[in-house]
Structure formats: C-alpha cells, structure tokens
C-alpha cells in the first residue's frame, strides 16, 4: 500500500512541476497549444460564422472555458495523473502474477515510423468511437455524458465540456488497447494536439464539412447532429459518434446528416432539469 501512496504523492509533485514549467516556458507545450488553438478556433467562428446571429461570447462561453482548464489541468493534477500511474502499477503487478512483464501481442516498434503513426491514429480513434458509443448505451455512463450534451449553443469550447468520469473511461480503454500493440499512452504529443484542434473545429460555429474529406474527418456539419435534441426512433442511442474521424460512422452505419443542421435544437430529453452551474453539474450524476 505504501508503494501506491508514494506513487500518488510523486505524481502530484511531478505534474505540478510539469504545469509550472509549461506556464513559465512558452513554446511547444500543451498549455500554450491549448490557448493558441482555442484562439484560432474562436477567430474562425468570428470570421466565418455558420449561425450568424449567435453571439461571439455565446451562451455558456465562460462556463465551457472553465471546463477546458479544469479537465485538462486541474483534474489531471488532483486526480487523473495519480490514478493513471497507480492503475499502470496495479496492472503491471497483476500481469506479473502470471510471469508477464507486458501484454504486447503485436510488436510495432520495428515498423516504419510513419506506419506506426497511421496505425496509432486509427486505433486510438476507433477505441474512442467505441467508448463514445458505450457512453450513450450504458445508462450509468450516459448520466455522466449528459453534461457534454447539455450544450445549447455550439462553439469550439464546448469540445471540452465533459464530466471528469469520461476521462477515466476513455484513458483506461485506450491504455489497455495500446498496451497490446506496445504503444505508450503519453508518447505522441503532436497527435494529441491535432486531435484537440479537430475537436475544437467539430464543435465550432463554422460552416465546414471539408468536401470529400467529410467521409474521413469529423466536421461541424456532421457533429451538430450528434448533439440534436430529437433524433429518429431508428437511432435510439444517437448518431455520428466520431471523435476525429468520421469513417467509423460510415463503416458501422451510424452516420446521419439528413439536412442542414444549422438551427437544430440541441440537448437531450428533459434537459430543462439539468443544473446550469459548474459545481452542480459535476455532482449531478453522482447524486443521481
């Protein structure tokens, strides 16, 4: 037990030092990439607005900004980093009971680097797509995911309005899958940055679908239907679950773009009872 306590304490110290270093050293670090890409996405909304009547500081703009920094930095500092490191250690201790040091089934480290990146992008996005579907299909998880669907006006910062529980589910699934292929979960910084920007654009108030590339990349005109309050009965659990890529929705028949969704009503059934304040939103699914 002392070993895991030491891991937690060291994780807090290490991540705090990491944040301080990032803030004090502007450049190629995630703190400033988050700020820069958020400003770029916001400027695109201002210059190329899809819903021209939507305010530049749309409904819940600052609330979503709070979620951006809470989920990316504060939650990671207080809980996620320590829990992740403890989980990895527990996982390694568990497989050591069977005389294993890892569960790598397919060793990709000798493959060309570009091919490793392609496989990583596809694999991570598929895991995220499957996890996203699970958040909609499992009632317990859906209660947490409702927070993301409480958005009433789409904008780039809505991308990171989600409950911290989702982060644990996503990261656990990704870690377990990548372990089989010998990938590390923290190794591919720029892929994470690109995914962040695509996510911002998917939620942004911009009228883009990327032409033929809409069948490869998720986009605002596709993702807004994922947030539609009312969907056909044939799509009971939702549509357009893609994170960065749209190919899984077209492949598994969950794509749905019947018409221009610019003025769709967003949310979920009975969302009028959902709280409007940050702290109440965080504890709401736990109370339920």
Give residue-wise pLDDT tens across range 66-82. 999 888 877 776 666 66
pLDDT digits (tens, 9 = 90+) for 30-71: 888 899 999 999 999 999 999 999 999 999 999 999 999 888
Prediction pTM value: 0.87
pLDDT at 149: 97
pLDDT at 5: 76
Other CB atoms within 10 Å distance of the CB of residue 92? 14
Q: Which SS3 state, helix, strand or coil, does residue 115 take?
A: helix
pLDDT grade for 87, boundaries at 50, 70 and 90: low
pLDDT at 104: 60
Full residue range of the structural domain in which residue 184 is found: 2-287
pLDDT at 8 > cutoff 80: no
| Number of domains the chain contains | 1
Distance of alpha carbon 206 from alpha carbon 87, whole angstroms: 39
Q: Which SS3 state, helix, strand or coil, does residue 79 take?
A: helix
* Cβ-Cβ contacts under 8 Å for 116 (sequence gap 6 or more): 108, 109, 183
Burial class (CB in 10 A: 0-12, 13-18, 19+), 242: buried
Query: Which ranges of the chain would DSSP assign to H, the alpha helix?
Result: 2-24, 30-47, 61-69, 75, 81-96, 113-137, 139-145, 164-181, 189-203, 220-226, 247-251, 278-287
Q: Identify whether the C-beta of residue 97 lies closer than 8 Å to the C-beta of residue 155.
A: no
Distance of alpha carbon 244 from alpha carbon 196, whole angstroms: 9
pLDDT at 171: 86
Closest CA to 227 of 208, 241, 213, 216: 241
Task: Locate 72 and state its tokens.
Answer: 């990316």
Whole-Å CA distances, 269 to 134, 150, 152, 196, 274: 18, 10, 13, 28, 10
Calculate mean pLDDT across residues 147-158. 96
Calculate mean pLDDT across residues 246-263. 95
């Amino acid at each position: 037990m002392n070993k895991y306590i030491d891991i937690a304490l060291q994780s807090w110290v290490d991540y705090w030092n990491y944040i301080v270093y990032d803030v004090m050293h502007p450049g190629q670090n995630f703190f400033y990439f988050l700020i820069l890409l958020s400003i770029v996405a916001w400027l695109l909304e201002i210059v190329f607005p899809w819903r021209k009547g939507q305010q530049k500081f749309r409904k819940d703009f600052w609330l979503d900004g709070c979620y951006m920094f809470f989920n990316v930095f504060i939650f990671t500092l207080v809980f996620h980093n320590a829990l992740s490191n403890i989980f990895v250690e527990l996982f390694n201790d568990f497989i050591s009971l069977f005389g294993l040091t890892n569960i790598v089934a397919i060793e990709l480290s000798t493959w060309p680097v570009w091919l490793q990146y392609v496989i990583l992008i596809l694999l991570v996005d598929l895991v995220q797509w499957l996890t996203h579907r699970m958040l909609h299909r499992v009632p317990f998880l859906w209660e947490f995911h409702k927070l993301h669907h409480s958005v009433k006006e789409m904008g780039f910062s809505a991308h990171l309005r989600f409950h911290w529980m989702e982060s644990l589910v996503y990261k656990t699934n990704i870690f377990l899958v990548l372990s089989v292929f010998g990938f590390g979960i923290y190794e591919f910084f720029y892929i994470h940055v690109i995914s962040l920007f695509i996510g911002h654009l998917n939620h942004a108030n911009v009228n883009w679908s990327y032409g033929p590339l809409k069948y490869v990349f998720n986009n605002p005109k596709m993702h807004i239907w994922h947030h539609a309050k009312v969907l056909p009965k044939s799509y009971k659990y939702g549509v357009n679950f893609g994170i960065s890529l749209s190919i899984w929705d077209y492949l598994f028949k969950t794509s749905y773009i019947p018409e221009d969704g610019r003025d769709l009503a967003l949310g979920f059934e009975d969302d009028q009872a959902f709280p409007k304040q940050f702290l109440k939103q965080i504890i709401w699914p736990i109370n339920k």
